[in-house]
Structures are given as structure tokens and as C-alpha cells.
């Protein structure tokens, strides 16, 4: 390879930098969009991965007429006797709709004296123990997002829940919590189980569902079958099923976005083609002189394609750098709503930085071949210009 | 839900549409060139055709580059799709999710070889002053194009045939000697036969290359490719995974093994490519290529790399698997 040729290519590119400016700008913008979308999706998936790790291996729900209903809590004892199960814990939880702000809180009932299915929740009670006075005042703990919303409606230290029976349940806000993955805890309220039962009108013998811990991954499938055999009316959801459906959703969304970008790629292709075809008189004369001093068609072609190689690399890195800034420093305003919905309570989390070769290769494969192919024909047209044609 | 909307598949389609468009243009020009190209003429037509050869060559050259990248990308995609398809744990399961899978992989590989041969002929052609091989190489390109169309249709059939709800087998079942399938049967050949043959072919290969026997080197390279793959699956892969029961040609492409598979296959494929290319060009075009050295270099690197795994395993643990 001829180093002089590369040097010449770079300098000629530099001389006409402003002429290429629009191309570089649009190219970078497309790369920016692609990398941002893929990064947000990967980052969210990572975040959900953290949530998933804490999740129990199996969740048992009782079904009635295709709908989920409360499950008898005693079934947990039966399930716990299945070999391979380390724990089966009935849960009481649900969603509470707060009409004024049009949001749903996730309410989790947890007995402060018992170990939770999530070690984190038990710890929360310990942390806030000094503030909690179980005997005199009923209380609850809330995630940061919930506290913010309540603040907006002037509920400072207490909140009035309306139970299923229509009665008012006045609880004291005893503490808040944050987490590494705020997606998980932002909308969560934790209260003593007995209060949650009162709120949702769930009798003492019932539970919302039963979570089952199976430490050995190889045994999960068998345990699942055994539970299904024991309770044919139950639906059993595995952790891996949830994982796959998350993956599907994010892949589907970024795929859809990419599909919508295809017309933009076509427009980009046309623009590049047009831009590269229109040579100025000066450029034509330059090619003519090169031809006259002995450049062959191959040489000019190589030079032109070298130029587009430089342009695409430059724009690609430009776009990637800007997109990382946008996603991880500015936290991807607007674009992230595409993935999580613009609900009132869901946002307000920091995206976890993931720099993934996969994202880069996806974006690279999506756009760079489009650009290079679009420049081939114009480059050839330039290269076959005859010396005498332009010098005359 | 179909897998057709995952971003990787969309990108593969974008690439294919672009390649199809440009290759169709190239084949259209190539047809005209091989019909009317006549170096003795001094007409405007001949002048135009000569200039068109540059365009066609450039398009084909870029197609090859894109095809090589998109082949690696395709494998990568298969690996990633294994997350969605129940039962699949690596590319094997995804490949087997449809009867077309294996053929798509083989045809894609073969297609890269064909494009590569074209490029080598093109290089030779540019070295000659009077366009010796121009007509021949464009005729050959028309054949490649037809092949490319088959490849695209097969790939489309394959991707639309995958059903993400259907359970497939993972590599543990497919590459199990107890399996009665073709792949299972192949693995019944004991390592006592496969390994010595593999190394014997390699030694023969070096010998024929040093004697510059293009014909035998080319044929031996084909055998080397087959036995290389077989030995990879049945013997070397177990040492890469350090697990005697894990025989799989795909898992080593995953991050757990530092993507070493891409390097291993790239070496094997490049080595055999140059060896076979020398045979192909000599047989069909009478071109004597000086690429046997390259072939030996890549093959040697492959042999050293895969042999290092069992050796280091033995040195560290003092036993064979």
C-alpha cells in the first residue's frame, strides 16, 4: 500500500472539509441514533438482569377462569416439602392506584419479624428500625419515586390509603430507600403484611402468590413439574421465562426502531450518491491533471474509496462518542421513553454504562456498508474521466 | 412472534438488499462485457466496456469484504438468537431450528470461497497487459451471481422458518455419539482414527506444498478442512471447554471462551481457501498462483493453536481428558 497516496487522500479530504460537512453531520447523526437505541436497550436489559437475579426461581399463581386469584397460603408448606426446594414463601402484594397523580404504586406486604423472600426487604426494616414504632402507629416505607409523588400532593409524613372496602387507612411514612437498580424500587411501598391484607382485603389464609426457591438450577424444571402435578389449577412462572420475555421486548423495540430507520438509510444513500456524483470544476481539473501525469483508473478509484473510508470512520467515531455522552451522561432524555413508557413513576433512573462490542458492531454493520456502497458508482465515474476532456 | 424483527436480522436483510442490488448491476454489466469484449476493436463501445470492468471489479471486491464481515455477523447472530429459542444454548440449536439451517451455513461459506477465487483471478488479470482473463472472469461471475441468488432465498427460507416457540436440541444432544443422526454417526469414528489422520494429512500437506504440487495440495486441503472440523468437534473442542462430554463446534464462539472460535475458524478457512484456490485456478484458468506459502502459514497456525489446548491441559493437570 502506498503511504503517499493515503497522505494525499487525507490532505485532499481536509482541503474540502466543509464540502463534506453535511455528509459527516448526517452520517454521525444516524450512527448516534443507532448506538443510542442499542445502548439504552442493552443498559435497561442489564438493569433488569440485576432485578432478575434477586427474583425467586419459581412463582406459583392460582388461576381461576384464566385469571389470577388468591392462593391458599398453606400450599406453601406442601411445596416446601418437595425435594430440592429450599423455601416456599407466600407473598401478599398488589398495585395501589393513586388517582390524583394517575399512578400505580407497587405495595408489598412484609412481616417485619419474618425473613423476606428478598433479603433486601428484611434489611430495610432493620435499617429503619429506630423510626418504626409498630405498636402505636401503623407505618410504611416507600421508594424515592413514591415519596416524590406524595410530596407533590402535600403528603409529607403520612398518607391516606383507601382500602378495598372503602375505608381510610392512615399510615405514617417511616423511611425511604434507594437502590442500585432504581427501576426495581422506584414505585415500591413496603408495609407490614397485616396492613397490606387490610388494604387489599386478602384473608389471613390466602396470599397473592407463592415464591419458590430452588438453589440447584438443574432441578428447577423437575420441581416445576411436581408443583404443577400437585396443583393443576396453578400457573408456574420460571425466572428464565421472564428473562426471555424481557429480551424479546427489548429486541423487538430496537428492531422496530431500526425498521423505521430504513427509509432514512435510503434517503442517506441517495444523498451520498448525489453529493458524490456532483464534482466541482476544480475537482474535475484535479483528476484530469492526475490522469495526465500518469495516474491509472485504479489509482483514482482507490483514492476516492480511501476518502470515503476516512469519512465513514471519522463519522462513525463521532457518532459513537456523542451517543455515549447522550446516553450515559445526559441519561438519554426523550429516547429512553421509547423503552420504558412515559409513565409518571417509572423514569428517574440512571442508565448503567455498558460499553459493548456487540452494540458497536451492530451499528457499524447497519450503516457503514450503506455509505461505502453508495460511493462506489460516483467514485468510478470520477475515476474514468479522461484527461483531455477536462483540460481542454 | 417471529424473530424477523430482531435488529440483527434486519441488518442482515439491509446488507442483503444492498448486495443484491449492486451485484445485479454488476452481473448486468458483466453479461454485456463477456458478450462483446474484444481487445482488437478500437470502437467507442470497446472503450466503454473496458471502463466498465473497473466498476464491476470494485463492486465484487466490496461484496466480498461485506460478505466476509456479514458471515461472521451471521454466526454471531445465530449465537445471540440462542437466547430466545427454547432449548438452544449456542448456534447449534438455532441452526437446527430449521431444516435449512445447516445448508445456509455451508452455502454461505462456499459463496465466500467463490467470491475469493474471483478476486484472485481478478488480481492475475490486472497483472497482465492485455486483459487475458477478463471475459473468463466475468463469465465466472455470472455463475457466482446465480449461486448468490440461491443463497439469499435459502437464507430467507431459513430465517422465516425458525419458530421461537418450538423447542430445539442443544449441542449436547446433537453432537452425541448415541444420536443416530448424521452428525452423531460421524462422531462414532474414534479419536484414534480421526487424530492421526488429521496430523498425517497435515504432514502430507506440507510435503506436497514444498514440492509445489498444486493438484495434490488442493485435494489434501479439502480433506484437511473436513478432518480439521471433525477433529475440532470430537477432540479439540473438549479441551477448549475442559469437559470431556462437551463436543460442540459453536460454543467456542461465545464470550466464555474469549471468542477464540472466530480465530480458530478464520485460520482454518483461510488456510484451506488458499490451498483450494491454487487448485481451482490452475484447473480452470491455467493460472499458477503463488499462494501455497500463505496456505501453509494459516494451516500451521491453526494446527499449533488447536494442539496447544490439549498440550497445556496435559501440562497443567498431568492427565488427558
CB contact under 8 A, B7 and A383: no
CB contacts of B18 in chain A (<8 Å) are: 369-370, 373
- A301 and chain B: CB distance < 8 Å anywhere? yes
- A144 and chain B: CB distance < 8 Å anywhere? no
Q: What pLDDT is stored for residue B299 in this prediction?
A: 94
Q: Is the pLDDT of residue A348 over 60?
A: no
Instruction: Kindly give the pairing relationship between strand A188-191 and strand A103-109.
Output: parallel
Q: Is the pLDDT of residue B128 over 60?
A: yes
CB contact under 8 A, A362 and B7: yes
Best residue in A49, A272, A369, A386 to probe B by mutation, most B CBs within 10 Å?
A369
How far off is chain A from B8, nearest CA to CA, in Å?
7
* CA atoms within 13 A of residue B26's CA, in its CB half-sphere: 32
With contact defined as beta carbons under 8 Å apart, do A89 and A211 qualify? yes
Q: What pLDDT is stored for residue B148 in this prediction?
A: 93
- Report pLDDT digits (tens) over B29-52: 999 998 888 888 888 888 888 889
**Residue A6 host element (H or E):** helix A3-15
CB contacts of B54 in chain A (<8 Å) are: 297-298, 301, 380, 383-384
CB contacts of A38 in chain B (<8 Å) are: 7
Q: How far apart are CA A190 and CA A173, in angstroms?
A: 10
**Residue A9 host element (H or E):** helix A3-15
- Report pLDDT digits (tens) over B205-239: 999 988 888 889 999 999 999 999 989 988 898 89
DSSP code, position B257: G
Residues forming a β-bridge with A111: none
Closest CA to B109 of B232, B296, B269, B274: B269
- A180 and chain B: CB distance < 8 Å anywhere? no
Q: How many CB atoms lie within 10 A of CB B62?
A: 18
Instruction: Search chain A and give the residue with CA nearest B66.
Output: A369
Q: How far apart are CA B250 and CA B259, in angstroms?
A: 10
Q: What pLDDT is stored for residue A122 in this prediction?
A: 66
Chain B positions contacting chain A at CB under 8 Å are 1, 5-11, 14-15, 18, 22, 51, 54-55, 58-59, 62, 66, 69-70, 73, 76, 80, 83-84, 86, 126, 164
**What is the C-alpha end-to-end distance of chain B, expressed in Å?**
43
**Residue B30 host element (H or E):** helix B7-36
- Report pLDDT digits (tens) over A232-274: 999 998 887 787 777 777 788 888 888 888 899 999 999 989 8
Q: Phi then psi for A177, rounded to 5 degrees?
A: -145, 150
Q: How far apart are CA A257 and CA A35, in angstroms?
A: 12
Q: What pLDDT is stored for residue A321 in this prediction?
A: 93
Q: What pLDDT is stored for residue A312 in this prediction?
A: 92
CA angle centred on A112, ends A108 and A114, rounded to 5°: 100
Helix, strand, or coil here: A356? coil
Mean pLDDT, range A196-210, rounded to an integer: 90
Confidence of residue A320 (pLDDT cuts 50, 70, 90): very high
Q: How far apart are CA B209 and CA B217, in angstroms?
A: 6
With contact defined as beta carbons under 8 Å apart, do A231 and A243 qualify? no
Q: How many CB atoms lie within 10 A of CB B270?
A: 18
- Report pLDDT digits (tens) over A52-95: 777 788 999 999 988 989 999 999 999 999 998 998 989 899 98
Q: Is the pLDDT of residue A9 over 90?
A: no
Q: SS3 breakdown of chain A: % helix, strand, coil, rounded to 5?
A: 55, 15, 25
In this structure, of A229-243, A268-282, B178-192, B266-280, the range with the lowest mean pLDDT score is: B178-192
- A267 and chain B: CB distance < 8 Å anywhere? no
Report domain extents, chain B.
3-161, 171-317
In this structure, of A352-366, B56-70, B259-273, the range with the lowest mean pLDDT score is: A352-366
Residue with more model confidence, B269 or A287: B269
How far off is chain B from A73, nearest CA to CA, in Å?
32
CB contact under 8 A, B7 and A254: yes
In this structure, of A141-150, A342-351, B10-19, B85-94, the range with the lowest mean pLDDT score is: A342-351
**Residue B127 host element (H or E):** helix B101-127
Q: What pLDDT is stored for residue A341 in this prediction?
A: 58
- How far is residue B252 CA from its own chain's centroid? 17
- A40 and chain B: CB distance < 8 Å anywhere? no
Give the mean pLDDT of chain A: 83
Q: What pLDDT is stored for residue A134 in this prediction?
A: 59
CB contacts of A262 in chain B (<8 Å) are: 10, 14
Q: What pLDDT is stored for residue A135 in this prediction?
A: 59
With contact defined as beta carbons under 8 Å apart, do A58 and A237 qualify? yes
- Report pLDDT digits (tens) over A20-36: 888 899 999 999 999 99
Q: How far apart are CA B127 and CA B124, in angstroms?
A: 5
With contact defined as beta carbons under 8 Å apart, do A106 and A97 qualify? no
Q: How far apart are CA B245 and CA A353, in angstroms?
A: 37
- Report the C-alpha dihedral over residues B105, B111, B113, B115, rounded to 10 degrees: -150
Q: Cell for A343?
A: 409513565
Mean pLDDT, range B123-136, rounded to an integer: 84
CB contacts of A265 in chain B (<8 Å) are: 14
Q: What pLDDT is stored for residue A344 in this prediction?
A: 46
Best residue in A269, A273, A380 to probe B by mutation, most B CBs within 10 Å?
A380
With contact defined as beta carbons under 8 Å apart, do B24 and B56 qualify? no
Mean pLDDT, range B122-127, rounded to an integer: 86
Q: How far apart are CA B259 and CA B78, in angstroms?
A: 14
Residue with more model confidence, B286 or A183: B286
Q: Is the pLDDT of residue B170 over 80?
A: no
Best residue in A249, A265, A297, A365 to probe B by mutation, most B CBs within 10 Å?
A365
Could you tell me if the ipTM is greater than 0.90? no
How far off is chain B from A41, nearest CA to CA, in Å?
11
Best residue in A41, A52, A255 to probe B by mutation, most B CBs within 10 Å?
A255
CB contact under 8 A, B14 and A38: no
Q: What pLDDT is stored for residue A55 in this prediction?
A: 79
CB contacts of B69 in chain A (<8 Å) are: 365
Q: What pLDDT is stored for residue A347 in this prediction?
A: 46
| Residues 219 through 248 of chain A touching chain B, CB cutoff 8 Å | 244, 247-248
Q: How far apart are CA B161 and CA B174, in angstroms?
A: 19
Share of chain B above pLDDT 70, in %: 96
Share of chain A above pLDDT 90, in %: 18
Q: How far apart are CA A159 and CA A103, in angstroms?
A: 15
Closest CA to A168 of A153, A179, A178, A158: A158
CB contact under 8 A, B7 and A373: no
**Greatest mean pLDDT range, A48-57, A242-251, A333-342, B246-255:** B246-255
Q: Cell for A371?
A: 455509505
**What is the C-alpha end-to-end distance of chain A, expressed in Å?**
33
Share of chain B above pLDDT 90, in %: 36
Mean pLDDT, range B172-176, rounded to an integer: 71
CB-nearest partner of A248 from B9, B14, B84? B84
- Report pLDDT digits (tens) over A47-63: 777 777 777 889 999 99
Residues forming a β-bridge with A173: A140
Q: How many pairs of residues across A and B have Cβ atoms under 8 Å apart?
A: 75
CB contact under 8 A, B55 and A377: yes
Closest CA to A369 of B207, B64, B289: B64
Mean pLDDT, range B293-306, rounded to an integer: 93
- A255 and chain B: CB distance < 8 Å anywhere? yes
Amino acid at each position: 500500500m502506498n503511504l503517499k497516496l493515503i497522505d494525499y487522500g487525507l490532505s485532499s479530504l481536509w482541503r474540502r472539509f466543509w464540502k463534506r460537512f453535511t455528509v459527516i453531520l448526517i452520517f454521525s447523526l444516524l450512527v448516534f441514533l443507532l448506538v443510542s437505541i442499542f445502548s439504552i436497550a442493552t443498559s435497561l436489559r442489564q438493569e433488569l438482569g440485576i432485578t432478575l437475579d434477586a427474583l425467586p426461581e419459581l412463582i406459583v399463581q392460582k388461576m381461576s377462569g384464566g385469571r389470577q386469584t388468591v392462593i391458599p397460603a398453606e400450599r406453601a408448606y406442601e411445596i416446601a416439602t418437595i425435594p430440592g426446594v429450599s423455601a416456599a414463601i407466600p407473598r401478599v402484594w398488589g398495585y395501589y392506584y393513586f388517582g390524583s397523580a394517575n399512578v400505580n404504586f407497587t405495595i408489598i406486604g412484609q412481616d417485619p419479624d419474618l425473613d423476606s423472600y428478598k433479603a433486601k426487604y428484611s434489611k430495610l426494616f432493620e435499617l429503619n428500625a429506630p423510626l418504626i414504632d409498630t405498636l402505636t402507629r401503623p407505618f410504611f416505607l416507600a421508594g424515592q419515586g413514591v415519596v416524590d409523588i406524595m410530596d407533590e400532593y402535600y403528603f409529607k409524613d403520612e398518607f391516606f390509603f383507601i382500602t378495598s372496602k372503602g375505608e381510610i387507612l392512615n399510615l405514617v411514612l417511616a423511611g425511604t430507600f434507594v437502590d442500585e437498580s432504581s427501576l426495581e424500587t422506584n414505585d415500591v411501598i413496603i408495609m407490614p403484611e397485616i396492613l397490606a391484607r387490610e388494604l387489599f382485603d386478602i384473608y389471613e389464609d390466602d396470599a397473592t402468590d407463592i415464591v419458590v426457591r430452588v438453589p440447584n438450577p438443574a432441578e428447577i424444571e423437575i420441581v416445576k413439574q411436581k408443583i404443577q402435578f400437585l396443583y393443576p389449577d396453578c400457573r408456574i412462572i420460571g425466572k428464565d421465562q421472564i428473562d426471555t420475555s424481557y429480551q424479546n421486548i427489548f429486541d423487538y423495540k430496537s428492531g422496530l426502531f431500526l425498521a423505521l430507520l430504513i427509509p432514512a438509510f435510503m434517503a442517506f444513500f441517495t444523498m451520498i450518491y448525489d453529493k458524490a456524483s456532483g464534482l466541482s470544476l476544480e475537482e474535475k481539473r484535479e483528476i484530469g491533471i492526475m490522469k495526465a501525469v500518469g495516474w491509472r483508473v485504479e489509482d483514482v478509484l482507490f483514492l476516492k474509496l480511501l476518502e470515503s473510508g476516512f469519512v465513514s470512520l471519522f463519522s462513525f467515531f463521532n457518532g459513537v462518542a456523542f451517543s455515549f455522552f447522550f446516553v450515559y451522561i445526559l441519561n438519554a432524555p426523550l429516547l429512553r421513553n421509547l423503552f420504558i413508557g412515559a409513565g409518571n413513576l417509572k423514569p428517574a433512573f440512571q442508565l448503567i454504562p455498558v460499553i459493548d462490542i456487540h452494540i458497536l458492531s451492530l451499528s457499524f454493520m447497519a450503516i457503514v456498508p450503506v455509505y461505502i456502497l453508495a460511493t462506489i458508482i460516483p467514485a468510478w465515474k470520477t475515476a474514468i474521466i479522461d484527461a483531455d476532456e477536462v483540460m481542454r | 412472534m417471529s424473530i424477523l424483527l430482531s435488529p440483527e436480522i434486519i441488518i442482515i436483510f439491509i446488507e442483503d438488499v444492498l448486495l443484491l442490488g449492486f451485484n445485479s448491476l454488476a452481473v448486468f454489466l458483466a453479461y454485456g462485457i463477456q458478450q462483446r469484449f474484444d481487445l482488437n476493436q478500437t470502437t467507442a463501445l470497446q472503450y466503454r466496456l473496458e471502463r466498465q470492468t473497473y466498476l464491476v471489479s470494485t463492486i465484487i471486491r466490496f461484496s466480498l469484504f461485506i460478505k466476509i464481515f456479514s458471515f461472521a455477523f451471521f454466526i454471531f447472530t445465530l449465537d445471540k438468537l440462542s437466547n430466545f429459542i427454547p432449548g438452544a444454548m449456542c448456534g447449534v440449536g438455532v441452526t437446527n431450528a430449521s431444516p435449512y439451517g445447516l445448508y445456509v451455513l455451508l452455502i454461505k461459506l462456499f459463496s465466500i470461497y467463490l467470491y475469493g477465487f474471483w478476486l484472485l483471478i481478478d488480481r492475475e488479470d490486472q497483472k497482465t497487459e492485455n486483459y487475458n482473463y477478463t471475459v473468463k472472469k466475468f463469465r465466472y461471475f455470472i455463475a457466482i451471481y446465480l449461486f448468490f441468488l440461491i443463497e439469499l432465498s435459502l437464507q430467507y427460507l431459513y430465517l422465516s422458518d425458525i419458530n421461537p416457540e418450538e423447542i430445539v436440541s442443544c449441542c449436547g444432544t446433537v453432537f452425541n455419539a448415541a444420536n443416530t443422526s448424521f452428525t452423531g454417526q460421524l462422531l462414532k469414528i474414534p479419536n484414534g482414527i480421526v487424530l492421526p489422520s488429521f496430523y498425517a494429512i497435515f504432514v502430507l500437506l506440507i510435503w506436497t506444498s514444498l514440492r509445489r504440487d498444486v493438484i495434490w495440495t488442493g485435494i489434501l486441503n479439502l480433506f484437511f478442512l473436513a478432518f480439521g472440523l471433525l477433529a475440532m468437534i470430537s477432540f479439540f473442542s473438549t479441551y477448549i471447554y475442559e469437559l470431556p462430554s462437551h463436543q460442540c463446534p459453536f460454543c467456542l464462539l461465545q464470550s466464555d471462551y474469549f471468542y477464540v472460535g472466530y480465530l480458530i475458524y478464520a485460520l482454518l478457512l483461510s488456510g484451506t481457501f488458499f490451498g483450494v484456490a491454487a487448485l481451482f485456478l490452475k484447473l480452470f484458468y491455467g493460472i499458477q498462483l503463488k499462494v501455497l506459502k500463505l496456505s501453509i502459514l494459516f494451516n500451521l497456525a491453526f494446527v499449533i493453536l488447536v494442539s496447544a489446548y490439549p498440550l497445556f491441559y496435559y501440562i497443567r493437570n498431568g492427565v488427558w481428558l
